Amino acid sequence: MSLIAVKDLSKTYESEEVKTTALQGVSFSVEKGEFVAIMGPSGSGKSTLMHILGLLERPSGGEYLLDGRDVAGLSDNELATLRNKRIGFVFQAFNLLPKTTVEENVELPLLYDADPTEHNSRRIAEALAAVDMTHRSKHFSSQLSGGEKQRVAIARALVNDPDIVFADEPTGNLDSKSGLQVMRILQGLNDSGRTIILVTHETSTAEHAKRIIRVVDGKIVSDEPVRARKIAGDGEVTLK
The pLDDT value given to residue 240: 47
Are the C-beta atoms of residues 6 and 27 closer than 8 Å to each other?
A: yes
Instruction: Determine the Cα–Cα distance for residues 108 and 32; give it in Å rounded to an integer.
Output: 26
The pLDDT value given to residue 237: 52
25: left (phi over 0), alpha (psi -120 to 50) or beta: left
Counting every residue written for the chain, the total comes to 240
Are the C-beta atoms of residues 155 and 127 closer than 8 Å to each other?
A: yes
The pLDDT value given to residue 118: 62
21: left (phi over 0), alpha (psi -120 to 50) or beta: beta
Burial class, 235, CB count within 10 angstroms (exposed 0-12 / middle 13-18 / buried 19+): middle
- The Cα-based distances of 204 to 30, 39, 81, 235 in angstroms read 22, 11, 34, 10
Instruction: Determine the Cα–Cα distance for residues 162 and 47; give it in Å rounded to an integer.
Output: 20
Q: For the CA atoms of the chain, what is the radius of gyration?
A: 18
Degrees to nearest 5, angle at CA 192 with 189 and 195: 60
Q: Mean pLDDT, consecutive 10-residue segments, the chain of 240 residues?
A: 96 90 97 97 94 96 96 94 92 91 93 67 93 94 94 95 94 92 95 96 94 97 82 50
